[in-house]
Structure 1
């Protein structure tokens, strides 16, 4: 059974823990969470950049998120099988290596000025991050005393949010501001009216080479670390497990909740720069708008700590519903107003997002017992909402404008209200009581 397998891994770690200190290893793992949060958020900077460069529609620009988050759906199950064969540590090294290759692919994509090559680079990068997530999340849980596993995961998730908060400043400074500066020089010098695709694309080469170097360095560090060889599963590890996680209504509704939540968060983040640069909203440059994204994701980081404290006294489902109601109000305000009110209403949605993903995830896994691993895999597949819903939002933005297109995340938050109040308490199958 999955629980006994996890217990044996915890026993192995605790016995090994007496022989050495894994504090440095946990620091290294925390850097992984920061790194994939950073890389994921950087997409929001590149979307308006690529849209302008290749003269794309909003729907075409959203193919960035479609390829990136589509990798979660395609790669999650193979990644689980791979990690089951090679273990957590080698899984992390493999994920870092693939993500490094994804970053390196941005260089030829920029050199050839090919949007299709950019999309392939996003897919490869996200494939590496998927393997990292499948490996690192459980590794943090078992690498240390069992009684402090939750606190370790909370801390690492906070550093994931830190990565999403820092990335907009990095992207705005090294990418968007560089292009705007070059365009001004070109205009003054009267050389050409507009930079070529290749000239604009070159702005992403150095940042992603730096990121590739950082990922390669992390891979070397994890190759040298002496860690317990955990994560390998025996061929009969799943034998004797009756039933299926698909029989639990609260899990299925939770998967829908993850699908719509990721779609809403990614959709809002992807359109933020385009929204803020509109004359009737913020009327600011793209590089300035990039800095405001930090408020969106920074709110999620702060709210995560606040929510963790609140949920010690208030039922998690109620806190989830309250946050979703607030998000509905804020998105509606952003849709119906202009200027500063609309701008800050949308940015404050990040604060509401803070506790949604981990809360939906934990509520959906309640009472699954021996089906917890299968349930976790189902929830990870639901992250594909980040690929599908922003694309739908892009289609609506092309037809009706950016503001009205926010109806997509609004409806997503309405479902999350339902899940927090009713869906998470859906009746469990009778077999669950006997499991």
Structure 2
């Protein structure tokens, strides 16, 4: 019996982990479909509909540290299996949520899904960075995240046709009796059952593969149990790259959620398009731009330092947010599609730059950066508050504009720290190789 080629083992492991990136990207990008769907079903304001994002991203805050401890105790693979189990359970909870037709139950189901995603992301992101040569870690993570970006394209297109059913208009609903209105809304609420049942079945199939799969072990210095638990959080936060990455990731995820989650509402207000047409713009437009940005960024990082590229992309995104606030028609949609392109590399690049050379603090640093995803629960509320207060949803783009400026600050800080290191290794200087 011949021993399996280590390269082939690494490649298959990379493929399987990448499938997780696609699946959590897919379910996350059904949220922009759920927001207008639930907003209509429960007559919500923009701020109230933002609770969909809050339910999802609060889970990241609650579960990130327990996920890190789980990795520490059980290892990356067992943690991923636990994450997949929670993911499938949350998807199945959409069936009773639709049957009871209670908004809080939908939020609960989303919270359980997000708990599973937190565990998956806390394990999969650092595992990908460690699955190969360290100098290629940022490119490797961006490549895996590119398939997350592919889900950004496909989820809104599929979700709009399966969830945004052609129901009664708001005016028609107001004219109905209470019993007739309730029957119509119940039928619309039931449209989520099929898609989320299918997601649960796919996740259970992936979990079965992971149960029998033997993932390659990473270097001993980076194993999650290599550092004692006591004081691990403060020790990780004493590392400036991790501390700054936590801040930057908080604001970046908030920006991404604002841009994607409110796109369908934004497109209707700024460009006057229907919800299904807006979902197509979200998928084919923003989703394709996001994927293209990821692949383009991965290629450009061969020639441009990741931090320098991140700085340029963050400033471009901030400028396009200003355009989105004050333009109308197709120009407004083009601006938001442009934001999707430029923000595409931000999550994996911030993550990789944050935990680079973290050694025994890699697992806890990963947990803290994943914990910062709670920004996706906070910043959409600011977006909704600004939109409701000004009676103009476009002005809500002031929130992501601020976020991208924080990401630019992070990138600039990384570049400043890199300058002394570059000077130390320049010709004529003494350096350790």
TM (normalized to structure 2)? 0.85
C-alpha distance in structure 2 between counterparts of 1:240 and 1:80, whole Å: 14
Match of 1:252 among 228, 232, 243: 243
Separation in structure 2 between the aligned mates of residue 42 and residue 291 of structure 1, nearest angstrom: 13
- Match for residue 302 of structure 2? 312
**C-alpha RMSD of the superposition:** 3.3
Whether contact under 8 Å (2:57, 2:376) holds in the other structure is yes
The SS at the match of 1:56 is coil
Alpha-carbon distance in structure 2 between the residues aligned to 1:283 and 1:319: 34
Aligned residues: 409
Alignment of 1:23-422 (within 5 A): 23-141=11-129, 152-176=140-164, 179-180=165-166, 182-183=167-168, 194=181, 196-227=184-215, 234=225, 237=228, 244-278=235-269, 281-294=270-283, 295-366=285-356, 368-400=358-390, 401-422=392-413
How many Å apart are 1:183 and its aligned residue?
Answer: 3.3
Could you say if the C-alpha distance between residues 255 and 46 of structure 1 is closer, same or farther in structure 2, counting changes exceeding 3 Å?
same
Sort the Cα spacing of 1:322 and 1:22 in 2 relative to 1 into closer, same or farther, 3 A.
Answer: closer
Shift of 1:64: 0.7
Aligned match of 1:431? none
Separation of aligned partners in 2, 1:120 and 1:75 = 15
Distance in 1 (CA, whole Å) between partners of 2:76 and 2:4 is: 16
List per-residue Cα deviations over 1:156-178 (Å, max 9, x = no partner).
211111112110111011111xx
Q: Deviations over 1:207-257 (max 9, x none)?
A: 111111111111112223344577975586569999823234443233211
Residue 244 of structure 1: SS of its match in structure 2?
helix
Distance 1:416 1:364 in 2: 12
The answer for unaligned runs of 5 or more in structure 1 is 1-14, 429-435
User: Structure 2: how far apart are the matches of 1:425 and 1:379?
Assistant: 21
Distance 2:277 2:243 in 1: 41
Gaps of 5+ in 2: 420-433
Q: 1:60 to 1:19 in 2, by over 3 A?
A: closer
CA distance in 2, matches of 1:248, 1:84: 20
* Deviations 1:374-425, CA, capped at 9 Å, x for gaps: 3333222111111111012112211112111111111111222233224653
**Cα pair distance change 1:236/1:272, threshold 3 Å:** closer
Contact kept? 1:58, 1:398, Cα under 8 Å: yes
CA distance in structure 1 between the partners assigned to 2:71 and 2:148 by the alignment = 22
Aligned partners of 2:82, 2:209: CA distance in 1, in Å?
13
Is the Cα contact below 8 Å between 1:72 and 1:126 reproduced in 2? yes
Offset of residue 198 of structure 1: 1.5
**Equivalent position of 2:422 in the other structure:** none
2-structure distance, mates of 1:260, 1:245: 20
Which region of structure 1 is more displaced relative to structure 2, 255-264 or 299-308?
299-308
1:342-363 per-position Cα deviation (integer Å, ceiling 9, x unaligned): 1211221001101222222233
Check whether the contact 2:67–2:367 (CA below 8 A) recurs between aligned residues: no
Note if contact 1:35-1:160 (Cα within 8 Å) is conserved in structure 2: yes
Q: Secondary structure at the match of 2:262?
A: helix
Matched position secondary structure for 2:303: coil
Alpha-carbon distance change, 320 to 26 in structure 1, aligned in 2, over 3 angstroms: closer
Q: Report the Cα distance in structure 2 between the residues aligned to 1:242 and 1:319, rounded to whole angstroms.
A: 30
CA contact (8 A) 2:64 2:122 kept: yes
Deviation at 1:373, TM superposition (A): 3.5
Q: What is the TM-score normalised by the length of structure 1? A: 0.84
